[in-house]
Structure 1
């Protein structure tokens, strides 16, 4: 069992002092905020088109965040036959950990894990979620909104690479992707789940109440076809990730892979409407919930909601971290993930 913050900070204690009653229904200043779908529907941005395609190439073994260990890159056919870019690092004989990144991110998000001592013990797999990084771009908006396709993407990676009882680590938007997988395949073949500042509701008032106001204010610019506005807003979006300003090197790299996701793909992903309560209530495998208390993108109250549906989950709160605990407090994140993975359900 992982410990909480020291001095101890329990999720329920923190939430009790931070939220109004009926938080999911609460609206500050009695104003109803638009959700992602409502904002997107008023922008009249073209849907996904075939003009966006992913060039395929060999990926190098170095990033400008930090040097990574030996890497093998795969192209795996996911749901609907879409090509997925998947990178493998670490100990091929180790217990597998499958990392799923957030909205507009890519496998490089996990560089602080793949270049760490985790690679000595575990088989580390990073999947570029459909429409992101070096994975393929679908030609229809529906291909970014069908939960079964996302589920099949994850299942294809698990099956193709022979991952036995993997730990799924899902950051931010990939909380939805994990729940997509659970909705189709359940958790019987998983060793565990690590929800990392994960979104598990989307496209509703319930979801909106658990997302940061600063994030919601950026949505029109993130979906804009005006390139100057899009770049400027994406810069602001990246800055929201961190409790403290990142180095220029990190900022520029993260901005670069965020800009690889075009507006029509962003729009399609932002137009989903999902509620994870039912699938999370059925989870029986080990679960770790990780969240930074200074997160300006996904409120820690989202993790409280996950905990309420998965009572046996362990919770780790980072008092000084923002949205990216895995990059802001890497040593602690990796230590806790290693302990969680080492104690996973045996095969």
Structure 2
């Protein structure tokens, strides 16, 4: 089910919803993707799952500005939590930074727990929580270009290095990225955000999941988050790329279910598989 939420500044956010019972989990996608990437989690009936399209992505509005402002990202996620109620927040890639933005301005009162998946939590030169891998560095700046003759090859190569999953999934991810305006793809990188104090203040259960073969976000970024957030657990997926929930959907489903059991009293479901974006 796809619903639409209106932020305080009048930006419409598209939100996919799955499940009808249990506590809420809010799934925040990464740069140049959409909430569709969480299809497996949206199909899990053991909790209420909500997957927003970030501003400028998917079916959400793409305003001209706001992409460089942590308060704006925090406000967008606040709009989603006003709709869902207290929730476990799951952030993949850039989604981890959006969650850090939220905690910076709104704290953890409505946060049941955090799950960071191949995530950055800060951004800017020399920020350890924003360390990128060779695939991300190789894609820039061409992947941000207005000229499709420049951007398309760079993005196609970028999605070849996401992880070991099938060609149709990589093509779907490429198509999703190309729906994001180039001005938005670029604006998300024009930020300088230090989140060390934010992470140290997190007082909710936290799970950090990172593939050891992630070429987009360096595993060091996940290790930094796990070391900085009090009591956080770091779970590494060996020989796994940037999207563990796509490369190993059954294992990730089991890990998320276990985390939900411990943080929100959800009974762990049987593992199953689902296609992404279809």
User: TM-score scaled to structure 1, two decimals?
Assistant: 0.74
Summarize the Cα distance change of 1:83–1:324 in structure 2 as closer, same or farther, 3 Å threshold: same
| 1:60-139 correspondence runs (5 A) | 72-90=1-19, 92-115=20-43, 119-139=44-64
1:310 paired to 2:238:
no
TM-score normalised by structure 2 residue count: 0.91
**Runs of 4 or more consecutive aligned structure 1 residues displaced over 6 Å after TM superposition:** none
For 1:131 and 1:226, the matched residues in 2 are separated by 18
1:121 match: secondary structure = coil
Secondary structure, counterpart of 2:220 in structure 1: helix
For residues 286-344 of structure 1, the C-alpha deviation after alignment (integer angstroms, 9 at most, x for no partner) is 10000000000111111111122113011211002100000001111000101101211
- How many angstroms does 1:208 deviate by? 9.0
- Alignment partner of 2:173 out of 254, 257, 261: 254
CA distance in 1, matches of 2:7, 2:40: 26
Residues 124 and 130 of structure 2 are in contact (CA less than 8 Å); yes or no, is this contact kept in structure 1?
A: no
8 Å CA contact 2:146–2:182 kept in 1: the answer is: yes
Correspondences of 1:1-347 after superposition (within 5 Å): 72-90=1-19, 92-115=20-43, 119-140=44-65, 143-161=66-84, 163=85, 165-207=86-128, 210-242=131-163, 244=164, 246-344=165-263
C-alpha displacement of 1:271: 0.3
Segment drifting more, 299-308 vs 73-82: 73-82
- How far does the alpha carbon of each residue in 1:204-239 deviate from its partner, in whole angstroms, 9 at most, with x for none? 223598211331121111111221111111101111
Q: Distance in 1 between matches of 2:135 and 2:81?
A: 36
SS in structure 1 at match of 2:36: helix
Instruction: Tell me the SS of whatever aligns to 1:149.
Output: helix
1:79 positional shift:
4.9
Structure 2, unpaired ranges of 5+: 266-278
Map of 2:268 onto structure 1: none
What is the CA–CA distance in structure 1 between the aligned matches of 2:114 and 2:41, rounded to whole Å?
16
What is the alpha-carbon distance in structure 2 between the residues aligned to residue 292 and residue 329 of structure 1? 10
Q: Distance in 2 between matches of 1:320 and 1:223?
A: 28
Task: Kindly provide the CA deviation profile for residues 251-284 of structure 1, in whole angstroms up to 9, marking residues without a partner as x.
Answer: 2211111111111111111101111101000000
Aligned to 1:87, the other structure's residue is in SS state: strand
Q: CA RMSD in A?
A: 1.5
Higher gyration radius (CA): 1
- Work out which structure has the larger RCO, using CA pairs closer than 8 Å and 6 or more positions apart in sequence: 1
Residue 345 of structure 1 and its aligned partner are, at CA, apart by 5.4
Q: Distance in 2 between matches of 1:258 and 1:107?
A: 12
